[in-house]
Chains A and B, each alone.
Chain A
């Protein structure tokens, strides 16, 4: 299977930024307009628009026209693992609990 190195480079570069990762995370739960995407961030609408352009150029998101709205969507082929945010939350939570299990083992040894 052949990979487009340039496309991968763009995708990795796009995801190097925490704001853009948060935007992707938000879009994994459904389409949203630029205004909706910008709301939780303490940065300007223009800055969010620039981040969205980078994600669009990287092929991670697409934009459609819906009347006056131009909602952003997560590109279906990109980041398939993010389709379910609750699954990712569960993974991270379980990882944390397994780390607690490990610390508990050392605590129990010390208590004996």
Chain B
């Protein structure tokens, strides 16, 4: 376990994320590709997560849905290009709310002295597509901000 390194250079369509985990490459790979295990972590906090399919093999497809308590759905899908257990996954990624904005993601699993290093490299179709996608990831941050605001207001008004 360690800090997360995120590189998203301005005016490029790339995002690089690096993070070490206290596990073997095989274990991290399993948690990252097994449909039952993915369902336990891929959905944002507070959202229901449905893994429709997750066939992590070359040519296989995946699709999953995040569902808000209100019923609002956010679906994501893609195909696997290359899958080497415990070592490498290359897949496409598309948010169905922005059809056609497909990014390419490469994940490598490398053994370290005391664990495994995950490096993901995402390539978007344009700088704007990258920024829009990243901004949508802020939803949960916004929700947290609203929760804090609600708590603050409740405290100040004594409700």
Contacts and interface: CB of A to CB of B under 8 A. Distances in A.
Name the interface size band of chain B.
35 or more
A79 interface: yes
A65 interface: no
Contacts of B149: 8
B42 interface: yes
A22 B135 contact: yes
Interface string A53-82: 000000000000000000000000001011
A72 B118 CA distance: 39
Nearest to B116: A104
Interface residues of A, number: 41
A108 B19 CA distance: 18
A12 B146 contact: yes
B40 A103 contact: yes
A3 B135 contact: no
A8 B153 contact: yes
Nearest to B135: A25
B141 A88 contact: yes
A15 B146 contact: yes
Contacts of B141: 81-82, 88, 91-92
A93 B30 contact: no
B37 interface: yes
Contacts of A88: 137-138, 141-142
Contacts of A24: 142
Contacts of A22: 132, 135-136
Interface of A: 1, 3, 5, 8, 12, 15, 18, 21-22, 24-26, 28-29, 39-40, 42, 79, 81-82, 85-86, 88-97, 99-104, 107-108, 111
Interface of B: 1, 4, 6, 8, 17, 19, 21-23, 27-28, 30-32, 37, 40-42, 44-45, 72, 98-99, 128-129, 131-132, 134-142, 145-146, 149, 153, 156-157
